[in-house]
Structures are given as structure tokens and as C-alpha cells.
Amino acid sequence: MEALKRQAAACALERVAGGMTLGLGTGSTARHFVDLLGEKVRAGLKVVGVPTSEATRAQAEQCGIRLTTLDEVDRLDLTVDGADEVDPALDLIKGGGGALLREKIVAAASDRMIVIADETKWVDALGRFPLPVEVIPFGLGATRRALEKAFAVAGVSGQMALRKGKDGHVFVTDGGHWIVDCHLGRIADAPRLAGLLNAIPGVVESGLFIGLASTVVLAGASGIRIVERR
């Protein structure tokens, strides 16, 4: 599986040109991209990156990649990131690694987003992977009740679980928020659900990435498959 992820990362790297400002994703597949990009940088490629998490920042610095922030640049040429699920509309579920807020900010500030993944991430409809929802700790009970109402309106339902870290304590995002993982099964209308979730005051952001990915690179046993947004 790691070999497939690296193949997808290598394919995306072919679309990187000197002088680009890049969004650097978070997660196991994005780590391969940052590693490979670092090799190119050490060989002379000139790029600037904006990391989507503190973990990616540390990795990029170790790889010698020059970094900047969205306070210092207006737009990014390209973001390369992974996904937990991708559907035929190229809508995504992201946030399994807990960096969904920064990932979405960076993706939205980019001219293009390439998603790199192994072929198991391709699904007919989103929802098999639990949907992460980043929330404010204050008023969590009220937020969860509002989430249940939004799910009912969108025609989905399922269990919600507050994410815990490896130490057993509540997982805290880089932004100081919590994540509720929502086990919803098939989401028939992901764009509608995304809009309903974003209207809830206690919700910071959801892991539904709607209309952001322009290209998906899927690596499988039979090779690389590239899907472009129509």
C-alpha cells in the first residue's frame, strides 16, 4: 500500500514546476509527496510551500523545502494532498489525520488541487469512512444535537464519537478544537450536507471537501489512473 501511495505522489510531482507556490498536504500519502519534493528541491528545484499542519511543517523543514504562509502570498498555484474518500464528482472526505481545517483553507486558496491516493479511496458515494467534523469544545452538547438535526434533514443518520488520541485523552487539532467522527454510511447528497453542517454555530469545519479537487491520481495494482474534474 505504501508503494502505491508513493507512485501516486510521484505522478503528482510531475505536475510541479519551478517557481510554484505549493500547498503541502497532511497524512500518509502526502508525506510521500513531501519526501519526493524534498529530493527535487535538494537537486535544485525552486518552490515555496505552505504546510497544512505542524507535522507537515516539521517534515518540510527537515526536507529543506522553503516555506511561507497565506499571510505572505495571495494565492497558491497548486495543492497536493491525500483523501480518505473520493467520489466520481471528485468530492472528498478528509480529516482522518485531524488537519481538515488547515487543509481546506489551503486548498481553497489554491488555483488547483491534486488529490493523491491509492485506489481503495475511490467510492461510489461518500460516507463509508466516518465523516470528521471539527467543533468548538464549548457547548458540545448543543452542537451534537444540531448535528443530529442536520443529519436528519440530509437523510442520513449514525453514531457520533468524540475523537480520542493515542493517550486516551480527547484529540486536539492544531487549531485547539475537537473532532466528532460521524459514522453515517452512504451520503446521498454530500454538497447539501456540507452546507447544513457549515450553518451550525459550533462547527468550525467539516471534512466534506466539495468542488475543491481538480485532479485525482489513483494508484492501483494495474497502474496509475488520473481523473480530471469535468
54 is annotated as an active-site residue: no
As a whole number of angstroms, the distance between CA 53 and CA 126 comes to: 24
User: In angstroms, how far is the first alpha carbon of the chain from the final one?
Assistant: 28
Options 85, 103, 134, 205, the catalytic residue: 103
- What are 106's three cell numbers? 489551503
Q: How far, in Å, CA of 122 to CA of 116, rounded?
A: 11
Do 29 and 118 form a contact (C-beta atoms < 8 A)? yes
Question: How is residue 128 annotated by DSSP?
Answer: S
Number of Cβ within a 10 Å radius of residue 66: 12
Catalytic residues: 103
